[in-house]
Amino acid sequence: MKLNYRRTFFVGLAFLSICSFWQMYDNIIPLMLKNTFGLGETLTGVIMAADNAFALFLLPIFGMLSDKTDTPLGKRTPFILFGTIASVIAMTFIPIANSKANLTLFIVFLGITLITMGSYRSSAVALMPDLTPKTLRSKANAVINLMGAIGGVYTLLMVKFLVKKDKSETVDYLPLFLSVAAIMLVAVFILISAIREKRLSGQIAKEAEKTGKTDTAQVQNSAVVTNDEGMSKAVKRSFLFILASIFLWFTAYNAVTTAFSRYVQQVWHLQEGGFANPLLVATIAAICSYIPIGIISSKIGRKKTIIAGIVMMTLSYLSGTLLVNYSPVINVIFAFTGIGWAAINVNSYPMVVEMSKGSNIGKYTGIYYLFSNLAQIITPILSGFLLEYVSYRTLFPYAVFFSVASLCTMLLVKHGDSRPMKKADILENFDTAD
């Protein structure tokens, strides 16, 4: 069985659309809050955390709603289509409010945008496992993450070319927002044109019936993952441990990414934008490794690949702890951080939905994001407290601690893994076309 890369590419357009927006949100909204409205760092941080707070309840709720939806377009497509359109309309008013320095209007439309974005994220992500056989989901998730990275790169390029100061030394962000709105709409309409969810779901269901025995043999403990009554005790235990792992590795990773720019100034005395180089190296390393990691995980299994990624990231954090002054070696360290993070991201979501039924993938997608977003709300506060009141040098030890903790919980996960597919004939071992 081989992954349909063409179909997965089109499915990934929804994630490209989402990531293009969040790249703009993370980079531009703080500048508006600070430069236009004069808000302090603390209040800016509270507003910037609103998306994660909304996600705590929006993603599980809309994920479950999409599970129960049945329309001629399918169950995920209506949420993706109307959520994107609503988001594009709302986000267009944000730069208008910014240009008028109207904070009330700005907050209102920012809130509406965050709600509408949260209304379809679970559906967009759940579309992949809906249309992908179980044993191929790690490979497919690698493609999805790659598409998301492309969306982020598009936005960064638009920021570079469209964010300019005029003669009055002010910035008009409307062209940037329109360019991101355009890619969001184009990506989703191409997705809907190319992917007929309702028809494909029926085809895949028939294929799954024919190959069900094979899938059961290849996916660890899949036969006991779920039933009509719910999870078995053993599977529920694994499910809770992988959710704990997700929370812990996001706690470690997000602390480093959010505080790194301040860390290099305070500890390594590196000024201006020099901090961006290691982060860029990490991003490029992750992008280059997504597809290879998807292939590797299909050979050795998801759990082993995730554990290798956690070990790689833990060693990277530990190396950061040992660096007293800035050195170009930090770029090498962050390259391994990016690869390790890719190994985790490619495989963790497929492991979560492996423990779901086909009828509740949206619900489990929402739960996955609930725990990752909860970590991203808590860790800036917790790590920030240590940075401010103890020492900036607590950053990397903090990350090491939570990364090691995620390794401990991940070792206790016994379900949701995949096994290498056995060849039906010995000659098939020479088939490398995939």
Specify the DSSP class assigned to residue 421: P
Mean pLDDT of the chain: 84
The reply to whether 7 falls in a domain is yes
Answer yes or no: do 132 and 225 share one domain: no
Residue 110 CA to residue 89 CA, distance in Å, equals: 11
| Between residues 52 and 429, the one the model is more confident about | 52
Residue 221 CA to residue 355 CA, distance in Å, equals: 9
Domain range for residue 57?
Answer: 1-199
pLDDT of residue 203 exceeding 90, the answer is: no
> Which residue type, as a one-letter code, is found at position 296?
I
Position 216 scores a pLDDT of 43
Give tens-digit pLDDT for 71-129.
988 899 999 999 999 999 999 999 999 999 999 999 999 999 999 999 998 899 889 88
Answer yes or no: do 190 and 240 share one domain: no
User: pLDDT grade, residue 169 (50/70/90)?
Assistant: low
The reply to whether 382 falls in a domain is yes
Answer yes or no: do 167 and 238 share one domain: no
Answer yes or no: do 272 and 182 share one domain: no
Position 433 scores a pLDDT of 36
* Structural domain total, the chain: 2
Answer yes or no: do 321 and 384 share one domain: yes
**Which of 15-29, 151-165, 301-315 has the highest mean predicted lDDT (pLDDT)?**
301-315
56 Cβ neighbours under 8 A, 6+ residues apart: 370, 373, 374, 377
Other beta carbons within 10 angstroms of residue 80's beta carbon come to 27
Strand partners, 74: 71
Answer yes or no: do 174 and 294 share one domain: no
Give tens-digit pLDDT for 391-402.
889 999 999 999
Residue 228 CA to residue 230 CA, distance in Å, equals: 6
| Between residues 41 and 284, the one the model is more confident about | 284
Answer yes or no: do 150 and 226 share one domain: no
Phi-psi region of 272 (alpha: psi -120 to 50; beta: other; left: phi over 0): left
Answer yes or no: do 181 and 77 share one domain: yes
Nearest to 146 by CA among 244, 2, 288, 37: 288
Answer yes or no: do 102 and 247 share one domain: no
Answer yes or no: do 195 and 226 share one domain: no
Position 227 scores a pLDDT of 43
Question: Stretch 349-371: mean pLDDT, rounded?
Answer: 83
Domain-terminating residue out of 147, 164, 199: 199
Give tens-digit pLDDT for 256-286.
887 776 787 788 877 645 556 787 788 888 8
User: pLDDT grade, residue 213 (50/70/90)?
Assistant: very low
The reply to whether 377 falls in a domain is yes
Answer yes or no: do 151 and 299 share one domain: no
| Between residues 201 and 191, the one the model is more confident about | 191
The reply to whether 208 falls in a domain is no
Give tens-digit pLDDT for 115-167.
999 999 889 988 988 888 877 888 888 899 889 888 888 888 888 788 876 65
Give tens-digit pLDDT for 312-349.
999 999 999 988 787 888 889 999 999 999 999 989 98
Answer yes or no: do 158 and 269 share one domain: no
